[in-house]
């Protein structure tokens, strides 16, 4: 038996899931601060709203789905880690978008590593559910790669034009990424 008792999920997978769930909340906090700075300091309100609703809010939803599908389904309660303070600041919107792209790719790599942990531990049902969720997360990565590409066509003096145009290269649908 895996994990002791009647659990059919290995302890290594459980621990990795706890870590991934904690990172979801850390990323939500990071993106919440990000959109606050984007909207207040740079007055990019359309960009801030789209990123807030579709990316920052995605992380706690993802956390809930991971907890429900990969832990609670197997009668394992979720444990939540604390999050760091959100006080980051930025000099330019271009720098912000570049950092956001880097963040979502880092998370994608963590998520992929968790999928591999489940596979390596023969937790095939967890592997399958995580793979499905990772495919959906990849849309977030695609969106930030596109934003970072497009912002390169605007100077910092044209940043309000970028904010105005963002909906033209926003690929996440109105309903967001549906988990």
Average pLDDT in the chain: 95
Query: Can you give the pLDDT at residue 147?
Result: 98
- Summarised one tens digit per residue, pLDDT across range 71-130 is 999 999 999 999 999 999 999 999 999 999 999 999 999 999 999 999 999 999 999 999
Domain ranges in the chain are 11-164
Q: Give the fold, CATH level 3, of 11-164.
A: Ferritin (1.20.1260)
How far is 60 from 63, CA to CA, in rounded Å? 5
- The pTM of the whole model exceeds 0.85: yes
**Band (158; pLDDT cuts 50, 70, 90):** very high
In the prediction, which pLDDT does 7 show? 64
Going by C-alpha positions, the residue among 20, 21, 1 that lies closest to residue 10 is 1
């Amino acid at each position: 038996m895996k994990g002791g008792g009647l659990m059919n999920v290995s302890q290594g997978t459980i621990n990795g899931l706890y870590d991934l769930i904690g990172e979801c909340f850390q990323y939500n906090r990071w993106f919440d601060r990000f959109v606050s700075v984007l909207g207040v300091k740079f007055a990019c309100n359309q960009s801030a709203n789209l990123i807030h609703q579709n990316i920052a809010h995605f992380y706690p939803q993802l956390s809930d789905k991971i907890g429900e599908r990969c832990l609670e389904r197997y009668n394992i309660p979720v444990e939540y880690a604390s999050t760091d303070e959100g006080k980051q600041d930025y000099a330019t919107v271009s720098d912000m978008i570049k950092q956001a792209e880097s963040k979502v790719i880092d998370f994608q790599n963590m998520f992929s590593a968790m999928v591999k942990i489940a596979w390596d531990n023969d937790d095939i049902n967890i592997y399958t559910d995580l793979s499905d969720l990772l495919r959906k997360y990849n849309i977030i990565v695609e969106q930030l790669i596109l934003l970072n590409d497009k912002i390169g066509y605007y100077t910092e003096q044209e940043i309000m034009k970028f904010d105005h145009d963002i909906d033209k290269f926003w690929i996440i649908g109105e309903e967001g990424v549906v988990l």
